[in-house]
Amino acid sequence: MIFEPAPLKDAWIIKQKPIGDERGYFARAFCEKEFAAHGIPTGFVQVNTSFSKDAGTLRGLHWQIDPAPEPKFMRCTRGAIYDIMVDMRPDSPTYLQHFGIELTPENQTMVYVPAFFAHGFLTLEPDSQSLYMVGGYYTPECERGIRYNDPKLGIELPIEPTTVSEKDLSWPLL
């Protein structure tokens, strides 16, 4: 696995290193030892999957506050997504800065989204699916969100969202 620091403090871009032969390839998708060597917490408590039938489906941007933060380790298993994260930690040098990256099965790129980061993604292809490990349980009273199109953030997306839930459209502006 190849670990590259993302532009936001404590966030990571992680790439698989496939070993191939005539049968296909093998690649490690997660290794607790390698995460620990890079100072990345690995207390994941559940694995989620998300499927979106249409391109242009936007999910997010959400995070959870104490006592139930939710760090995430995210990958795309089918189709393509544009993954977005925003540092919501007021004491961080990258507070309110955002970062986006395309994740596909072909590019074998994954991201580690730290606790207290708003997170979401936009599907770039129909029938896109993601798989992500989460370091906390969903706790509705700790959930927070911001709008993906908040002018204060200035997030530029590769395509215009066509499907966004009412909940995600109703988050407050900063």
* Residue 100 token pair: 């986006």
Greatest Cα pair distance in the chain? 52
CA angle 163, 97, 133 (to 5 degrees): 60
Helix (H, G, I), strand (E, B) or coil at 134: strand
Q: Catalytic site residue 82?
A: no
Q: Is 112 assigned a catalytic role? A: no
Catalytic residue from among 62, 82, 112, 119 = 62
Tokens representing 101 are 């990256």
Active-site hit among 82, 112, 119, 132: 132
CA distances from 144 to 8, 21, 35, 75 (A): 20, 46, 27, 22
For the CA atoms of 74, 7, 172, 60, what is the dihedral angle to 10 degrees? -20
Which residues are catalytically annotated? 62, 132
